[in-house]
Structure 1
Amino acid sequence: MSETPLTHLSYASGPVNAGPGDQHNHFAPPLLPAPAATPRMVAEDQLRHLHATFVRPAGINTAYDILVEHRTVFLDGAPGSGRSSAARVLLHELPHQGTYHELTPGEEESGTVRIPLHLIGVNDRMLLDLSAADAELWGAVRAQFSEIRNEVMDRHAHLAVVLPHPYAAQLDPEFLRYRWDVERPDARAVVHRHLRVRGGMGSELYSPTPAVLLDYLSTRPAVRDLARLADLILRARVAAEGSPVSGRPFTLWCEQATGAMTDRANEVAAFVPGLAESARRALLLTSAMLHGVRVDTVHRAAADLASLVRSPAEERPLLEREGLTERLSSVRAAPDSTGRVRFTELGFDRAVREHFWFDMPDLRAPLTTWVKRILLWPALDSTGRETLVRNVTELCLATKDYQTVQALVSAWTRENAQRFELRSAAQTLKTCLSSEEHAGHFRAYVYAQSRRDVTAGLRETLTEVCEKVLSVTHPDAALVRLHWLTRHEPSLGSARTALVRYARSDPPVLSRLVRRLADDMPTRPRATDIRLFLALVEPGAGSALPVVDAAVRRGLTECWGAVFLHGGADRWGPAVDTWVETASDSPTAVSGALLDVLIGAAASHYTALSRIYDAARGLGPPGWSTGVLHRITAAQRGPRTGNERASQQLPVSERTNV
């Protein structure tokens, strides 16, 4: 039996010694929950969930056959037909040989609007979602389709392209045979599937379908709205637990859910003018922004908002004023059994928030100031902070107020910001990057910030967002941003630790990082890149080092050559010892590849060759060290490598810091 030619390194979920020297670990709670698996596995899990709730539209098997036979399929459909979900499901149903990821036009470091072809890996399953593309972007990517498809074929990959519906007729004739039009799935079946998969609801509850639900479905809502409707039905069921209900409870849940989907905006618009007092409106808006937060916190926050917008103070004596329960009732809210404020009607909180944000644009600035202010209150617990941050972020995205979002992130990541503020900034960016409509803007924002000298808090926030959120759908974008964060952080920082952990968790990402380092290190040998490379080749936190891949092997040789030329032996020596020891314990093919890389890089570096041979003595099977010596001798006789480019040495001041 042949062995898989990979060098396996052990996985570590804790701190990693990212290079030689002492390691000091200072533990702080993560800003975002740690994923239970690698980004690749998280992406596959999301696809499995989508597949479980997906209702197959008519003819989708034809689209699958096109994708299997031609490795490319172009999907079109009316907005709201579920075309993007269909593309993801098709890719999920393929054999899981390569990596699933999304392609996005534009490579920041080249400044061109193109699909980066180097991101197409062997056996990859890729989504190119152009559903929101404008005419300019569509034209640029359309001109590249032949080049993209040739690369897909050469790499034995698969690509699903979602076309922009207004321009789909412009698809070139040569690609028409790969096109498939997505038909809208049966809306009732979509809702039923979500209720069954997500809520365990049996068909005996929703058969026959209530008239109120059929009336709503007749309006042909978007497929994504059907998922939200099912969520509201399940929420109505939870809220009704323990309450006596006459008749069919499912009908009542549907009435509440469809009401939240359709009637609430007009209802709120008619309700607010009836609240003549400014303080009463402040209580209404506060209850919506802090929906589900403790009643005493809502009371205090409402008073603070009223003061901020200069509402007149209450002049009546305290004992003559209305109680809080009475005032909450006047805005259709009440404390629940746990003392948290909730509206009595499903979806009313969202409609209230959107009414004030959309209908009173002059209120946005003071409301944002209020959010920043009360976020600092000790009385606001973590659930309340998460609710507040999510709500203000969604409001900003609804009006594409990106500047306000970025200002909030800056405020929450200033120097000496508290831990919960950093967590709020991370939550905000996670929400933005998880939105199909707005993610592109915030990927660009994260990229721009990663290339600057930013506060330690913003660097940590960006690091976690890249490793835990962006890496799931855009692995290369996460890699690029983590690399720039590493270049701009102090020695042994969290960005480098995260980048090493991320790269070692996924061999394709590791290969890409090696090639990226090899592109720069020989000609622009940054001290940070040399330290990063030495951390990368140390054992302790990875999955596999694919040294038998010719491109990776060339990249590793270039990197080692730059390390030998520009780094001190006290830094690279321990890494050489580990590399040689790994070679001695590896299968023959891998062992030879490891030695070829190291000895090839050190061919004109006597000190490095001596260290390699000293490390090899006494290791491996009998005669192994003699074989190492023969390789060293052969390398010394052969042509010299690029390691002799002494003119590219780092300044002495920087070399001593490597």
Structure 2
Amino acid sequence: MSAEIHQARGNLHTGSGNQWNLTLHTAKVAVRRGAGAWSESTFEHVNQCFFEPDGFQEIQAAIEEHKVVILKGIPGSGRRFAALKLLSKSQYSPGLFYAPVVGSGDDESLSGLRIQRGDRVLVDLSTMDEAQFKMVAPEVQPFVETVQTARARSVIILPDACEPEPDWLKIVRPITRPDPVKAYRRHLKSIGVLADAIDGPAVHEHFRHAPMADLTRLMLLVVEARDANPTLDDRAWTRVALEALRAGPKEVAAILKELKAGQQRALLLASSLFAGGSADGAWHAARVLLETLRYPKDPDLPLDRSDLQEQLALFGAGIDQHRHIQFHKPLDAAIRAYMWDGYPALRNTLAEWIKALGKNWKWSLADAERVAARFGEQHLRTRQITSMAKLIADLAGSEADEPIRQAFVLLELGLKHPDHGRGFRRQMWEWAKNPPSDGLGEVLIRACVEVIGDTHPDQALVRLHHLARRSGRIGEMACETLAVQLAQDRLLRLIRLLLFRMVEHPNDRDPAIFVHVIDPHLLIDWRGRARPLAAEPAVRTQLALAWRATLAKQPRGWQEQLDSWLIAAANRSGSELLLAILAEAPDDLAARSRLHAAAVAWAAARGGAWSVADALLERVNDAQGFSFVAMEGTD
């Protein structure tokens, strides 16, 4: 029996405990395939790890025939993973993948989705209760017909407790759990661990009650066990990993029974949070915890105490050659859960402890993020969402890098949580309207791009728009980010949404945003479209109204934006559209004069480019009922 690691990509963990690899982008905005386009690496992972449950080929045949399937299965059966597999890109569905949030209070509905040919749409209703589902149910059948007409594809996941409507029955398919041992083998193979033999009965026993989502956790624990004990075999590594998954309160209670002193328990908790990280950091964290709890200070006689290795050995931990904390048995997660559950009165104090850790200690970003992530897991597990949101805001209010990074890690955890993600997106919306600090504003902008921008692009845009309406540095950062997001949206969905918001919910800052983020070349682009965006009647009206507000407010950069429109009109087909929109914008003499003067200045600056300026002014005069006299440039 043997196992080998082949073609490892990215960060490779080489010790016990959890490893959190967070790639940080502070200056560059990641390039996406378009609004709502999840990274195709997500589907690469699905294709590598997915093991077909019984009846899956029949479900594939159903989506080929009907373009839509409705999955019904119990929680933990792998419904979402199966849905992603069904919506993987293919020659028959090459379009963008997106997962709209239905019934979220963010003006998203199935009836309002603009489905394009080849799109792949996941509609996950599985977390809805019966009342929420009843509100959405009438939209399902029209949505199905829209998808079929557009020759797109969609998978809808039903709530477990809700029954489908009679009209849907021909596209409803039950989904069952795959064989856990075979799925486990497939997961291991996806990370290069070639398992010749595993403890099949033990895996079956664990997954009798555990959700299939545990497979990913089990896979990572096997890698940790292999790295810690490379001389063992696959069966032993699986056994160690399962022990870590099952490690529970009895073992931790036995440890705590032996650790009577508060100093010992503080080090135990700190070590569980720092496991795999700095041993010195864990020691410092234990001291800060005692100070936060106002323990009486001991006389500073370090030589009268046991050394750190001996103190760690009391609960089965030690220090490796890199001075990292390592537990001999994978108990760190169980220790965190036990102490969080066993000492609820300490939770608020623990939040103050987390905020105090970096004040007198220069810890690494990796340790800061590791501690934040593990602390956040306990909040999410016990549904302490309000206190977690407060901690995010407090950490982001700091001027130091580490707390702001911790705030982002916590927010990312919340946004990606299957049960609490919607609540955290709502919290982002509340914050974006009035962020209490610039640090939190930065965290929100980054979360819009890196976390929800791909999976919930409409919601990301709404939050960025609120932030862009702020004055100062955060408003400018959000505006720059909006411009990048709109430029990457090849389907132009986000431009429509932004224009709609500017017209229906205007704000004094909107003209400044408009001149900075709207690219006229995108508005007249025909590529892959039946007609340019600017030719759509609603969009044309919205653009004219946006220009009307711009001519009235005259924000910084408005003349440069007008120049770019006139340049696009001079150099590209579709010029008539842009000129018509500009001509419809003025609603008084002052605005007409302002537009006239700016167009003349633009033509003069270009050495006599009067044809576009003449055409614009003729349209303006026609719109206002005036006669037109062509201008001539002077040498």
Aligned to 1:117: 111
Aligned to 1:557: 544
Output aligned runs, 1:471-510, within 5 Å: 471-490=453-472, 493-508=476-491, 510=492
Three-state SS of the structure 2 residue aligned to 1:562 is: helix
Structure 1 residue 385 displacement after superposition: 0.6
Q: 1:541 to 1:317 in 2, by over 3 A?
A: farther
Q: Of the candidates 67, 83, 86, which is equivalent to residue 87 of structure 1?
A: 83
Structure 1 residue 570 displacement after superposition: 7.5
Deviations 1:559-590 (A, max 9, x none): 223323x133974322222212123222x3x3
Aligned to 2:621: 636
1:337 and 2:310 correspond: no
Alignment partners' CA distance in 2, 1:585 and 1:53: 50
Alignment partners' CA distance in 1, 2:87 and 2:303: 66
Unaligned stretches of 5+ in structure 2?
1-22, 527-531, 626-635
Structure 1 residue 154 displacement after superposition: 5.3
Structure 1 residue 342 displacement after superposition: 1.3
Q: Is the 8 A contact 1:506 1:543 kept in 2?
A: no
Aligned to 1:105: 102
Alignment partners' CA distance in 2, 1:633 and 1:34: 43
Amino acid at match of 1:201: V
Alignment partners' CA distance in 1, 2:485 and 2:524: 10
1:179 and 2:172 correspond: yes
Q: Is the 8 A contact 1:504 1:544 kept in 2?
A: no
Three-state SS of the structure 1 residue aligned to 2:418 is: coil
Q: Of the candidates 499, 514, 519, which is equivalent to residue 533 of structure 1?
A: 514
Amino acid at match of 2:463: R
Amino acid at match of 1:583: A
Deviations 1:488-517 (A, max 9, x none): 333762111111111111133x44334533
Structure 1 residue 67 displacement after superposition: 2.9
Alignment partners' CA distance in 2, 1:391 and 1:128: 30
Q: Of the candidates 221, 224, 231, which is equivalent to residue 232 of structure 1?
A: 221
Aligned to 1:653: none
Q: Of the candidates 67, 74, 77, which is equivalent to residue 71 of structure 1?
A: 67
1:575 and 2:561 correspond: yes
1:221 and 2:210 correspond: yes
Q: Is the 8 A contact 1:501 1:541 kept in 2?
A: no
Alignment partners' CA distance in 1, 2:427 and 2:33: 21
Structure 1 residue 639 displacement after superposition: 7.2
Structure 1 residue 269 displacement after superposition: 2.8
Q: Of the candidates 414, 420, 436, which is equivalent to residue 454 of structure 1?
A: 436
Q: 1:287 to 1:639 in 2, by over 3 A?
A: same
Output aligned runs, 1:563-642, within 5 Å: 563-564=550-551, 566-568=552-554, 571-586=557-572, 588=573, 590-601=574-585, 605-609=592-596, 611-612=598-599, 615=602, 626=611, 629-630=614-615, 632-633=617-618, 636-638=621-623
1:356 and 2:373 correspond: no
Structure 1 residue 82 displacement after superposition: 0.5
Alignment partners' CA distance in 1, 2:369 and 2:435: 28
Q: Is the 8 A contact 2:464 2:478 kept in 1?
A: yes
Judge which range, 357-366 or 73-82, deviates more. 357-366
Q: 1:518 to 1:157 in 2, by over 3 A?
A: same
Three-state SS of the structure 1 residue aligned to 2:115 is: coil
Aligned to 1:373: 356
Unaligned stretches of 5+ in structure 1?
1-28, 641-658
Amino acid at match of 1:333: A
Q: 1:33 to 1:559 in 2, by over 3 A?
A: closer
Q: Is the 8 A contact 1:38 1:505 kept in 2?
A: yes
Alignment partners' CA distance in 1, 2:76 and 2:161: 14
Q: Of the candidates 42, 47, 61, which is equivalent to residue 43 of structure 2?
A: 47
Q: How many residues align?
A: 590
Q: 1:338 to 1:519 in 2, by over 3 A?
A: closer
Q: Of the candidates 106, 109, 125, which is equivalent to residue 130 of structure 1?
A: 125
Q: Is the 8 A contact 1:595 1:628 kept in 2?
A: no
Alignment partners' CA distance in 2, 1:462 and 1:351: 31
Alignment partners' CA distance in 2, 1:297 and 1:520: 49
Q: Is the 8 A contact 1:286 1:302 kept in 2?
A: yes
Alignment partners' CA distance in 1, 2:177 and 2:60: 17
Alignment partners' CA distance in 2, 1:37 and 1:88: 22
TM-score normalised by length of structure 2: 0.84
Judge which range, 573-582 or 314-323, deviates more. 314-323
Amino acid at match of 1:159: S
Q: Of the candidates 58, 63, 78, which is equivalent to residue 62 of structure 1?
A: 58
Structure 1 residue 518 displacement after superposition: 4.5
Q: 1:398 to 1:321 in 2, by over 3 A?
A: same
Q: 1:366 to 1:614 in 2, by over 3 A?
A: closer
Q: Is the 8 A contact 1:599 1:631 kept in 2?
A: yes
Deviations 1:95-114 (A, max 9, x none): 4544322122335466xxx7
Alignment partners' CA distance in 2, 1:254 and 1:453: 47
Structure 1 residue 613 displacement after superposition: 6.2
Q: Of the candidates 173, 176, 198, which is equivalent to residue 209 of structure 1?
A: 198
Three-state SS of the structure 2 residue aligned to 1:103 is: coil
- Quote the sequence identity (%): 25
Q: Is the 8 A contact 1:583 1:591 kept in 2?
A: yes
Q: 1:528 to 1:68 in 2, by over 3 A?
A: farther
Output aligned runs, 1:141-540, within 5 Å: 141-153=136-148, 155-167=150-162, 170-198=163-191, 200-202=192-194, 206-210=195-199, 213-214=202-203, 216=205, 219=208, 221-241=210-230, 245=231, 249-309=233-293, 318-346=302-330, 348-414=331-397, 417-452=399-434, 454-490=436-472, 493-508=476-491, 510-518=492-500, 520-521=502-503, 526-537=507-518
Higher RCO by CA contacts (8 Å cutoff, separation 6 or greater): 1
Q: Is the 8 A contact 1:422 1:457 kept in 2?
A: yes
Q: Is the 8 A contact 2:464 2:482 kept in 1?
A: yes
Alignment partners' CA distance in 2, 1:283 and 1:33: 37
Structure 1 residue 538 displacement after superposition: 5.4
Deviations 1:85-143 (A, max 9, x none): 11122122454544322122335466xxx726334332332212121211211111113
Deviations 1:570-628 (A, max 9, x none): 74322222212123222x3x3343333333435972542464466468989xx996477
Amino acid at match of 2:99: E
Alignment partners' CA distance in 2, 1:273 and 1:569: 68
Q: 1:385 to 1:554 in 2, by over 3 A?
A: same
Q: 1:261 to 1:109 in 2, by over 3 A?
A: closer
Structural RMSD (CA): 3.3
Three-state SS of the structure 1 residue aligned to 2:322 is: coil
Q: Is the 8 A contact 2:570 2:612 kept in 1?
A: no
Structure 1 residue 376 displacement after superposition: 2.6
